[in-house]
Amino acid sequence: MRPVRLGPRALAALVLVSAIGVIAFGWPLLADPGAGLAHSRDAPWLFAALLPLLVGVVVAMIADSGLDAKAVAMLGVLAAVGAALRPLGAGTAGLEPMFFLMVLSGRVLGPGFGFVLGSVTMFASALLTGGVGPWMPFQMLSMSWFAMGAGLLPGPDRLRGRAELLTLAGYGFVASFAYGTVMNLYGWTMVPPAGSGISFHAGDPLADNLVRFLAYCVATSLGWDLGRAVLTAVLTLAVGSPLLKALRRATRRANFEAQVTFDAPRE
């Protein structure tokens, strides 16, 4: 059951936000040496563009599926829980328990809701932990893609029970590495070239820089991402079943897309 439907306007808004995100992450790879590659310079512009676009996604979802106050309330509750979970791991060895909640929420509530939830949760957690900085809009986008991906998995009519849990755990494991890799692309372009084989060199051929980027990921963050991936998969398998049932029960009772009708007064 996916009560928050992704209509054509919401889909167009998601594609636009994602396209801007891909450009924001990847443009340094194609820039000239003297372009000025510090992501700290483009982060305020990305953040300024991201907020109204996220509002646009919500407005499009309201127009397409009748997203109401109950859905917004659930968004707030899940974002608050996710933000509260993030400090529990304190980022130690990549142990961040909020990721498994994003997997389950995106699965139950769909890709559009998951996208907005990922951004709002990361924004709230940054305020809670004092993690506000030029990296924050990039984290918001990465978490949005992470949660949205869970909503794009085959529906519960095709995956049920143990198969569904194994699929979600497998997705969380792989997507945790993808999240770390995308965030590495943000930080790697700001590391000054030091003559090593893993440094970013502006203006070099794309293939050469991608090889160095792969070496950078293996050398600096593979262990960190592995901790995040393992914890996400383990938590999904351990508590995923009751949480999926609770989320689905809550969405059924909320009945987000119920149409309001008014009966004529009886005489």
Residue 199: which residues within 8 A CB-CB, separation 6 or more? 191, 192, 193, 212, 216
- Reading phi first (left if > 0) and then psi (alpha if -120 to 50, else beta), residue 228 is in alpha
d(CA 72, CA 70): 5
Radius of gyration of the chain from its Cα atoms, rounded to whole angstroms: 20
Q: What is the pLDDT along the chain (267 residues), one digit of tens a residue?
A: 455 677 787 788 888 888 888 888 887 777 666 555 555 555 566 666 666 776 677 667 666 655 667 777 888 899 999 998 888 765 565 678 899 999 999 999 888 889 889 988 998 888 887 777 778 888 888 999 999 999 999 877 787 888 999 999 999 999 999 999 999 988 887 766 655 678 887 778 888 888 989 999 998 888 889 999 999 999 999 999 999 999 988 887 766 555 545 455 555
DSSP result, 225-247: HHHHHHHHHHHHHHHHHHHHHHH
d(CA 186, CA 189): 6
| Contact (CB, 8 A) for 17 and 197 | no
Tell me, which fold does domain 8-254 have in CATH?
A: Arp2/3 complex 21 kDa subunit ARPC3 (1.10.1760)
Give the angle 122-127-128 at the CA atoms, nearest 5°. Answer: 95
Tokens 């990549």 sit on residue:
94
Domain extents for the chain?
8-254
Give residue 14's pLDDT. 84
Q: Report H helices in 39-160.
A: 39-65, 69-89, 98-109, 111-129, 136-151
Give residue 221's pLDDT. 87
